[in-house]
Structure 1
Amino acid sequence: MAPSGRKHAKSQPRIIPGGFSVLPIQFDSDSATQHTLYIKEHKVRAEKTSRRPLDRTLFVLNIPPYCSEAVIRDLFSQFGSVQSVELRDHPGSSHESELKLSKLFTPASKQGFKVGYIVFQNSSGIAAAKKHDYDVPLVVSTEQHPVKTGVQKWIQEYKESFIQPDNLQEIVDSFMQDYDKRKEEEAERQKKEAEQQEEDEEGWVKVTRGQKGTKARPHSEAANKRTLQKEMRKKKRKELMNFYTWQHRNTQKEHIAELRKKFEEDKQKIALLRAQRKFRPY
């Protein structure tokens, strides 16, 4: 993917509102039409990530569907050594997934125009890309680096979708080994936390801080019931019922008051039943 013979020092870049530089491309040397990319130095200070350093990252808009990460890397490598290329459906922060699944378990990416983040080895690559001559388009598909589109691209992707049984078994075994290892580590961590949360001989419970980033589990009804029963048993063990005389008197008073209340309720029920059974001929 070679640019024109003009040097970047003599280039005439074009800047549009928003601070974007216009970078024209064409699919091959025989194409009569051109496509336009919009590039700008990435300067989002709120995004704190090592994957997109502020002084070496180029933000690219309007990347066509036939440009993969490998194509973009080859296309921009003429401006400087490219460290990494990231294509996304829309601009946004970088989310590094903790669990990287195999391509066999991930859905197919959405086809359409994308945005890109290109990280150069040196900051001079950004300056060279922004100074590129607007009248000299970059060629995407060359003899050294052909890019397939249309039916040819579909046939290539269809052939690459097949995988040998031995390779598939190896990928599945590797995935299951990692999964079992994570489950064992999680079980070991929960066991240690349970041991730390057990109460000692005096009834004290050691409260430890959970791992950073873990979410608190909501308490279920069964868990709440078990906790309540545990607290009641603990309270009964520590409390001596009717130990003092005044405790015994208070218990008797409460019992007598409860009996009087029940007696009054029974009287009202009997009076109501008598009134309902009274004979009234007129």
Structure 2
Amino acid sequence: MTAKNIQDFEVVPFYFSSDSTDPHDLFIKEHKVRKFDIKKPPGKTLFVLNVPPYVTVEALKDVFASAGKVQSVTFQCDDSDDTNELFGFKTAFVVFTKRPSLLRALKLERLTLPNPHNILLGMSKWIHEYNSTVYNHDKLNEEVNIYIKQHEKEEEEKKLAEKEVDDEGWTVVTKKGRNPGLSRKESVENKLIQKNKIKSKKKELKNFYTFQLKEQKMNNIIALRKSFQESKEKVNLMKKMRNFKPF
């Protein structure tokens, strides 16, 4: 079989296996560009079009290994080797270690995928894809049981953390929530009450409101009257005790 030529491209039939009868056409030619690219050296790079989406880098290396040692294979717009997830036909650059290998590749009349790659096609491919989406029931059951046990353990730890036992054996319920507080024991309650009283005294403002000023004035007047009355009574008592008689 002689390879066809279409617009500077050599059309080479590509067979998925040695016993395959229906080939897929690949379009190949020497890669020549003005701009130098170290990943695609001139004189050693083969430009390949119409590469099937399920052909990987390693598979394409083995396909062209019959022409000579392949240095690297890259797909356009993808620098990684993981191309199994790409969809649609791809463009590849096959770099040989020597130029004679490139020239031999351009004269190949057919290309065959080696057996070790085992690419699934047609009904076998669809069955494999479907089976891969079905979850293993035993594995799912095991994961669910592990999750339930872990959840029950965490709930028990939360319940124990929310309860405390005092010196007399009584269960003391503590504050719940994200920021649990102190247990409400009698000693703690007294300390909190005393602390709140001190804070309230510090915060109290004297003679700030009008009614406070009025109360302060009334208290001062009452105190003055009481002091005057006491002084008056004391003077009268002193007069009586002296028995003063000027005439």
TMscore range, shorter length: 0.3 to 0.5
Query: Greater relative contact order (Cα 8 A, min sep 6): structure 1 or 2?
Result: 1
Q: TM-score, normalised by structure 2?
A: 0.46
Q: TM-score, normalised by structure 1?
A: 0.40
